[in-house]
Protein backbone atom coordinates (compact mmCIF):
# COMPACT_ATOMS: atom_id res chain seq x y z
CA UNK A 1 0.00 0.00 0.00
CA UNK A 2 1.28 3.49 -0.88
CA UNK A 3 1.78 5.70 2.16
CA UNK A 4 -0.31 8.80 2.80
CA UNK A 5 2.80 10.98 2.42
CA UNK A 6 3.47 9.65 -1.08
CA UNK A 7 -0.14 10.17 -2.13
CA UNK A 8 0.04 13.77 -0.91
CA UNK A 9 3.34 14.40 -2.74
CA UNK A 10 1.84 13.19 -6.02
CA UNK A 11 -0.98 15.74 -5.71
CA UNK A 12 -0.01 18.67 -7.93
CA UNK A 13 -2.66 20.92 -6.31
CA UNK A 14 -1.35 20.81 -2.75
CA UNK A 15 -1.13 24.11 -0.81
CA UNK A 16 1.90 26.32 -1.35
CA UNK A 17 3.60 29.00 0.75
CA UNK A 18 6.08 31.76 -0.03
CA UNK A 19 9.41 32.03 1.76
CA UNK A 20 12.30 34.47 1.69
CA UNK A 21 15.87 33.25 1.32
CA UNK A 22 19.06 35.28 1.37
CA UNK A 23 21.36 33.81 -1.27
CA UNK A 24 24.61 35.33 -2.52
CA UNK A 25 24.25 37.16 -5.84
CA UNK A 26 26.90 35.03 -7.54
CA UNK A 27 25.00 31.86 -6.59
CA UNK A 28 21.77 33.25 -8.08
CA UNK A 29 23.66 34.21 -11.26
CA UNK A 30 25.07 30.68 -11.52
CA UNK A 31 21.58 29.21 -11.09
CA UNK A 32 20.26 31.55 -13.80
CA UNK A 33 22.89 30.17 -16.17
CA UNK A 34 22.37 26.53 -15.24
CA UNK A 35 18.54 26.47 -15.18
CA UNK A 36 17.96 26.67 -18.96
CA UNK A 37 20.66 24.07 -19.56
CA UNK A 38 18.68 21.70 -17.37
CA UNK A 39 15.46 22.57 -19.23
CA UNK A 40 14.02 24.67 -16.42
CA UNK A 41 12.24 27.99 -16.76
CA UNK A 42 14.47 29.91 -14.35
CA UNK A 43 16.57 29.92 -11.23
CA UNK A 44 13.59 29.59 -8.90
CA UNK A 45 12.53 26.35 -10.59
CA UNK A 46 16.12 25.11 -10.29
CA UNK A 47 16.23 26.03 -6.61
CA UNK A 48 12.95 24.15 -6.02
CA UNK A 49 14.41 21.14 -7.85
CA UNK A 50 17.51 21.22 -5.65
CA UNK A 51 15.41 21.46 -2.48
CA UNK A 52 13.08 18.67 -3.63
CA UNK A 53 15.96 16.37 -4.53
CA UNK A 54 17.66 16.86 -1.18
CA UNK A 55 14.41 16.48 0.72
CA UNK A 56 13.51 13.25 -1.13
CA UNK A 57 16.93 11.81 -0.31
CA UNK A 58 16.67 12.70 3.36
CA UNK A 59 13.08 11.48 3.66
CA UNK A 60 13.96 8.21 1.95
CA UNK A 61 16.87 7.75 4.32
CA UNK A 62 15.14 8.82 7.54
CA UNK A 63 11.37 8.82 7.20
CA UNK A 64 9.65 7.20 4.26
CA UNK A 65 8.56 3.72 3.31
CA UNK A 66 10.00 1.34 0.76
CA UNK A 67 7.42 2.67 -1.73
CA UNK A 68 8.85 6.16 -1.37
CA UNK A 69 12.38 4.85 -1.79
CA UNK A 70 11.30 3.08 -4.99
CA UNK A 71 9.69 6.25 -6.37
CA UNK A 72 12.83 8.22 -5.56
CA UNK A 73 15.00 5.62 -7.31
CA UNK A 74 12.77 5.72 -10.40
CA UNK A 75 12.96 9.52 -10.54
CA UNK A 76 16.75 9.41 -10.30
CA UNK A 77 16.72 7.07 -13.28
CA UNK A 78 14.67 9.51 -15.36
CA UNK A 79 11.20 8.02 -15.04
CA UNK A 80 8.72 10.88 -15.40
CA UNK A 81 6.40 12.00 -12.61
CA UNK A 82 3.40 11.23 -14.84
CA UNK A 83 4.45 7.61 -15.44
CA UNK A 84 5.10 7.13 -11.72
CA UNK A 85 1.76 8.70 -10.82
CA UNK A 86 -0.07 6.51 -13.38
CA UNK A 87 1.59 3.38 -11.96
CA UNK A 88 0.73 4.38 -8.38
CA UNK A 89 -2.90 4.96 -9.36
CA UNK A 90 -3.05 1.45 -10.85
CA UNK A 91 -2.17 -0.20 -7.57
CA UNK A 92 -4.16 1.98 -5.18
Could you read off the pLDDT of 68-77 as tens digits, one per residue? 778 888 989 9
Residue 6 lies in a domain: no
Domain enclosing residue 85, as ranges? 25-91
User: Among the residues of the chain, which ranges form H helices?
Assistant: 4-10, 25-37, 43-62, 66-76, 81-91
2 neighbors 64 (Cβ within 8 angstroms): no
Residue 71 lies in a domain: yes
Residue 55 lies in a domain: yes
Q: What is the mean pLDDT of the chain?
A: 85
Query: What is the domain count for the chain?
Result: 1
47-81: per-residue pLDDT in tens? 999 998 898 888 767 765 677 778 888 989 999 98
pTM (two decimals): 0.58
Amino acid sequence: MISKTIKERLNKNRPMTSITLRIPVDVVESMKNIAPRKGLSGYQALLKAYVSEGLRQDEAQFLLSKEAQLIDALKRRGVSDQIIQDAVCEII
